[in-house]
Structure 1
């Protein structure tokens, strides 16, 4: 979280990043241009009321499609993509370690996905296993509604560990029409009417030369959205009274811990929220995985989550897809980043036993009982009272015991779903427009599958 009097991360980045086409120092282009194919699995359809389009590649059929160079589809209970015979080698100068290493690689390029909702923003997320000596790169290339195209934008260079490369977003990517802000590709001037009409995704899988190790990517997708500018949103009617038994962790008891991972406290809302939901689903870390944490620190698993969601370019733990990818490193878990449209959507998920992690920003007086204001904060939604109010595990609490909060439904719904708000100085700034992370089983139950499908998430 960043406090209300501080600018949001996107404001900071927007001020700091000049329009540029370069993707920064990186490995040589591995797949200059794959043949364009059409995504027949999810064709364009006109649904005017929709503001979000989700597409994910998850099945063996999905991975067998697209264009593969040095990669292969892997069958099984959790199908995925792995390195076959590498397509070549390339050097990667890691800007965060100063080291250059050579890697074997293979690529996979998705078919073209035509957005049912021409988008002002797109967020790419993935689930993968990256054993020691391996890592992945995820990219997106869009076509605008004016018929022109974006360059290939690097959305992540990622590994679950931090010994081979430092996981990172990539700054300084723009073509004068769109720009990458950490984890989000955004149209520069949405008021112009320009939108992303379609996109392709590209994965590059890397490994140390001469080894048989390979990353395995189980899920790759993007969420495109065109949420209208709004200071207030329509109120939804309460429809569920249910609370899920989710563990409670405070970010505040970690203030000052591990400055190299952004110093705990308010900076750790995202990994703290992630850890709560991971443990709800049964995810646990071993003593061996936690033996690097200072034994004087409580809840070492929160420190671990911060370290392994940390984005070395953004210099923080709040990269949305990095949190979803971290969750998916736990056995039989998936993670996605999406947008929802109302508290009714959250009620649908809670009814099926699926809690959510939501992103919101607000002044102290806008959320009764919070006791703070924020320019960007993550908390978990774990249920609803009989009167429809939101039950949240809010990590911005002085202790684990104080984490459970009840927030007024109308206040909470508005601060979460709006895209515009006034900050403490009276300036108009952005809201998150319903962003959330969803973590759920790799093999969801029928009820969970139905709920996820109802809110637009493919499983």
Structure 2
């Protein structure tokens, strides 16, 4: 796995700016300085066509440490109403060929009448690779074809004639070449016996709420997990921001997270980069999508005070104590027992009080890290291969900074 990001003033100055300039401050980034031009965009989800001023920043070419079969981009940005960004990826194959510019997401923080609708883009392919919602993937990994390098392009948009601008603070991607495997090597417990104090929220108490944002319940595992970790770091929507939520609903901040992570093309709240981008809209909070190699990596993060949002799929019989099976689910890893078993806040619980679970280490590690599994019909399907979200302060504590750096996150 290779995770690389552009985050510092020196990083931004190495890229190619076309109408963008360095945004100085505690979190350096790029912003619109003098628009490069104007473009018309027809929003496929509202049908409205509008003109937007735009400017671009294109990264230097990043050569992957290991040629990749998959790449997932993620970003942190401020996008006031009436602004948005598009993130694109272009790569080079092992045989020297190049991909087209693939759209990895069109993102804005809000969804007012002044905004586009946050969206992934379907039907992107070149016969060798394709985009599945938020993930670039080589179509036939067994062919030996890989992606050896990539560059990212951020296009910043605003309403013509205004001085508003989005600001991009972090732009990066995780490339990986994870072997096909039904079983992963077991890790030995190491830094165990710590549990972080993380708020507990159930997705299930929201079943049937807001059909326009995928109807709550089992569809809201990702924003519910995100909200738990956002609040662990002391951030939370204001009462004014929550004023749109039905006052009869408990935990209105979970509804807010679902609305602001919703991908109008995917028609759900499970877009990985959109969840990370939502978390990073809170003051001085960073967020990335990456992969970890084992529970040993997760132990290091927990020991440093950083919880981990994990993505996994499993049969009911494969995770004792869960009581359900799933084709894809997010939960928050918040600690380890003295024996090394996993302590997780699992939002697929009947109520907030029931969210804390202890899962057997070996079972949890395997369902999270494997890339192949059999579903309930016995068909071979894919696993996530250790995908996770990491949310952490813009200025991490020294121990947190060291652990993140050791895991390739800076």
Instruction: Indicate whether the TM-score tops 0.5.
Output: yes
From 215, 222, 227, the equivalent of 1:263 is: 215
Corresponding residue of 1:118: 67
Corresponding residue of 1:149: 98
From 156, 179, 204, the equivalent of 2:130 is: 179
Corresponding residue of 2:278: 326
From 189, 193, 205, the equivalent of 2:144 is: 193
In the aligned structure 2, how far is the partner of 1:365 from the partner of 1:203?
44
Q: CA deviation at 1:260?
A: 0.2
Corresponding residue of 2:336: 384
In the aligned structure 2, how far is the partner of 1:79 from the partner of 1:348?
28
In the aligned structure 1, how far is the partner of 2:23 from the partner of 2:348?
42
1:224 aligns with 2:175: yes
Corresponding residue of 1:72: 21
Corresponding residue of 2:82: 133
Corresponding residue of 1:426: 378
In the aligned structure 1, how far is the partner of 2:157 from the partner of 2:60?
21
Kindly tell me the number of residue pairs found equivalent between the two proteins: 407
Greater Cα offset, 266-275 or 445-454 = 445-454
Q: CA deviation at 1:74?
A: 1.4
Corresponding residue of 1:403: 355
Matches within 5 A, 1:208-357: 208-239=159-190, 240-357=192-309
Q: CA deviation at 1:455?
A: 1.4
In the aligned structure 2, how far is the partner of 1:384 from the partner of 1:252?
25
Unmatched segments (≥5 aa) in structure 2: none
In the aligned structure 1, how far is the partner of 2:247 from the partner of 2:324?
30
Corresponding residue of 2:403: 451
Unmatched segments (≥5 aa) in structure 1: 1-51
From 137, 152, 156, the equivalent of 1:205 is: 156
In the aligned structure 2, how far is the partner of 1:107 from the partner of 1:187?
27
Q: Secondary structure at the match of 1:288?
A: coil
In the aligned structure 1, how far is the partner of 2:393 from the partner of 2:224?
20
RMSD: 0.5
Q: CA deviation at 1:132?
A: 1.2
In the aligned structure 1, how far is the partner of 2:38 from the partner of 2:378?
53
Matches within 5 A, 1:13-162: 52-162=1-111
Q: CA deviation at 1:422?
A: 0.7
In the aligned structure 1, how far is the partner of 2:394 from the partner of 2:265?
30
In the aligned structure 2, how far is the partner of 1:282 from the partner of 1:265?
25
Corresponding residue of 1:32: none
Q: CA deviation at 1:454?
A: 1.5
Q: CA deviation at 1:64?
A: 1.1
Q: CA deviation at 1:151?
A: 0.1
In the aligned structure 1, how far is the partner of 2:38 from the partner of 2:24?
26
Q: CA deviation at 1:353?
A: 0.1
Give TM-score, length-normalised by structure 1.
Answer: 0.88
**Cα deviation digits, residues 146-200 of structure 1 (max 9, x gap):** 1000000001110000121000000000000000000000000000000000000
1:365 aligns with 2:317: yes
**Hey, which bits of structure 1, 4+ residues long, moved more than 6 A?**
none
**Cα deviation digits, residues 216-240 of structure 1 (max 9, x gap):** 0000000000000000011101012
Q: CA deviation at 1:292?
A: 0.3
**Cα deviation digits, residues 322-358 of structure 1 (max 9, x gap):** 0000000000100000000000000000000000100
Corresponding residue of 1:31: none
Q: Secondary structure at the match of 2:179?
A: coil
Corresponding residue of 1:413: 365
In the aligned structure 1, how far is the partner of 2:355 from the partner of 2:247?
23
Q: Secondary structure at the match of 1:149?
A: coil
Q: Secondary structure at the match of 1:290?
A: coil
